[in-house]
Homo-oligomer: A and B are copies of this chain.
């Protein structure tokens, strides 16, 4: 068993793709992880902005959260409609492309790609933030921990995930249950006493260094908007639900939004009640907002441990959703020729290997550049997410405008229009508020990505034109003379035997070219022996079979070069048999394991490549194999063949 097999698992046959459909109960973990996970970094991002104003800012936490919840409600209504209108695949890329045109679709695709990468980076870094809150000794290892989790997720996804209900469901429902329980308990206490006493004392609040200004509020709102990322997941995956899939998708969307809304409202209420402030993740002693909150309500006992563990699990799994979504998006974009076709090739475990590796590299780069600190990633994250929200909503508005029939659809146009207006306003606010903190970077990266996608498409289109031009004409099959064949002949062995026999089947004009680096009498003796073999083994049988005998040419090649004399022979053959193609026959050793590969120079392979590259359009290469191991046709058929 090779190392690859141990790490990545055995190669999966295509028939193992398939998959079963899910309902709302499984849908919540499968599609909601990303959205629900946002509850643990969205409020924190908002509080981090407000921290400079100290405890004076606690009063505005709830008002800002109400605005965010309002926006969430608008998004909910908008996506409800998207699910109805696009029951197969309502991702922003599709919706924007179909309704707003190619460029808008690609803009959405570029925004989404960045968004997926940031989702991985933010999910992991927030998860590690929860972990280091619980185990402060690990704080110094924030970045290594982030990268270790990223590597683990990458390997798991290269193996291919089964998205089993239990693995996703258990942490998700545990997360909801523990967090909801703690929020309920906290609210119960807070209703008794407006400012309850925390069970575990809160860390000392940082001193206020700035007043609460309107600008601060705007920036806090922009940061808090990250709490909404991931809400669109259901609209991307309606096809995964059981029939009636739209109804199940609606139920799942509703469940996600309601749970997320309750978590956000609860966190905002208790942060105000207990006076919880965000801390700087880059500094030792960091406690995430959730960690402070759980400690304040329930102390640092078993409940705390279970809650933080479920937060860590949910955030890592929410990062994992990108590993499913990103390769799928890339496959779609690649299928439309905007990305290299390799993104659309399934790997050995039926996953889109290139997409997964690309995502991992991108997220790893983000984690390293930003040191694994969530707060530094947030500005970029919000821009990508709201750009794709806006494009999707605008697309839906256009959709109703074009295809709308009567009153109900006018209402739908209104809702999606409101959604588009709200999300694009939020986008504008985020861009302005977070511009200097990193949002400017997205204004560089997204257009560059867009340009790259267009350039790739242009390349493929040019190639297509080249290959299609003039193909729609009849073949001139009156000209069907066989090619002239040339065979580089190292010595007379069974490989040469096969090559010459094949040549005799294909053409009456066969030249075998033997190159020797010998000199003087040795060379003559060597040539005489080869010529005798040629006469015995080839010429005589050919004459007896009534064939024109293949010709042996012996040439000195003192510098051991094979390509040049072979190309010269090709050029001369082309002159001798005009208007007929030239075929070079090569015997190749094939198969064998890695150490056998190390023992062969690959000279034939290089020669093949050079001839194909530089021989000319009329020079083809026939490869006659010599298998180092017995071929395994049957096994390949069994492995590759779909169950029929």
Which residues on B sit within 8 Å (CB–CB) of A504? 475, 477, 480
Return the CB mask of A351-378 against B: 1 if under 8 Å, else 0.
0000000000000000000000000000
Interface residues of A in 339-355 (CB under 8 A from B): 340-342, 344-346
* A626 touches which of B467, B564, B581 (Cβ 8 Å): B467
- Which of A249-257, A381-389, A634-642 lies at the binding interface? A634-642
A113 to chain B, nearest CB (A): 17
Cα separation A259 to B292 with both chains bound (whole Å):
81
- Which of A87-95, A130-138, A161-169, A494-502 lies at the binding interface? A494-502
Cα separation A616 to B345 with both chains bound (whole Å):
26
Which residues on B sit within 8 Å (CB–CB) of A342? 598, 600-602
Residue of B nearest to A337 (CB): B599
Which residues on B sit within 8 Å (CB–CB) of A477? 501, 504, 541-542, 544-545, 547
Cα separation A517 to B640 with both chains bound (whole Å):
15
Which residues on B sit within 8 Å (CB–CB) of A15? 559
- Given known pairs A505-B480, A636-B564, the reply for A620 and B613 (CB within 8 Å) is no
Cα separation A599 to B344 with both chains bound (whole Å):
12
Interface residues of A in 482-516 (CB under 8 A from B): 482-483, 492-498, 500-502, 504-506
- Which of A29-37, A261-269, A305-313, A603-611 lies at the binding interface? A603-611
Is A66 part of the contact surface with B, judged by Cβ < 8 Å?
A: no
Q: Is the CB of A624 within 8 A of B613?
A: no
Q: Is the CB of A622 within 8 A of B622?
A: yes
Cα separation A476 to B500 with both chains bound (whole Å):
11
Q: Is the CB of A633 within 8 A of B616?
A: yes
Which residues on B sit within 8 Å (CB–CB) of A189? none
Q: Is the CB of B561 within 8 A of A633?
A: no
Q: Is the CB of B620 within 8 A of A621?
A: no
Residue of B nearest to A540 (CB): B474
Q: Is the CB of A480 within 8 A of B609?
A: no
* A471 touches which of B476, B494, B637 (Cβ 8 Å): B494
Interface residues of A in 501-554 (CB under 8 A from B): 501-502, 504-506, 533, 536-538, 540-542, 544-545, 547
- Given known pairs A471-B497, A495-B467, the reply for A625 and B615 (CB within 8 Å) is yes
Is A7 part of the contact surface with B, judged by Cβ < 8 Å?
A: no
Which residues on B sit within 8 Å (CB–CB) of A441? none
- Which of A294-302, A390-398, A583-591 lies at the binding interface? A583-591
Q: Is the CB of A640 within 8 A of B468?
A: no
Q: Is the CB of B625 within 8 A of A619?
A: yes
Q: Is the CB of B623 within 8 A of A620?
A: yes
Cα separation A477 to B589 with both chains bound (whole Å):
24
Is A148 part of the contact surface with B, judged by Cβ < 8 Å?
A: no
A471 to chain B, nearest CB (A): 5
Cα separation A567 to B340 with both chains bound (whole Å):
27
Q: Is the CB of B474 within 8 A of A541?
A: yes
* A341 touches which of B17, B561, B599 (Cβ 8 Å): B599
- Given known pairs A561-B642, A616-B633, the reply for A541 and B341 (CB within 8 Å) is no
Which residues on B sit within 8 Å (CB–CB) of A545? 477-478, 480
Which residues on B sit within 8 Å (CB–CB) of A14? 559-561
Is A432 part of the contact surface with B, judged by Cβ < 8 Å?
A: no
Q: Is the CB of A601 within 8 A of B474?
A: no
Cα separation A628 to B459 with both chains bound (whole Å):
11
Residue of B nearest to A564 (CB): B640
Q: Is the CB of B631 within 8 A of A615?
A: yes
- Given known pairs A474-B540, A493-B467, A599-B456, the reply for A564 and B623 (CB within 8 Å) is no
Cα separation A619 to B560 with both chains bound (whole Å):
30
* A599 touches which of B460, B476, B612 (Cβ 8 Å): B460
Q: List 25 A-B contacts (CB under 8 A).
A: A14-B561, A340-B599, A341-B601, A342-B598, A346-B560, A471-B494, A472-B492, A475-B497, A475-B538, A477-B501, A480-B505, A481-B505, A483-B505, A502-B581, A558-B642, A564-B636, A564-B642, A567-B636, A567-B640, A608-B623, A612-B623, A615-B633, A621-B623, A621-B625, A622-B623
Given contacts A567-B637, A568-B641, 7 further A-B contacts (CB under 8 A): A557-B642, A571-B633, A583-B622, A614-B631, A615-B631, A622-B622, A622-B623
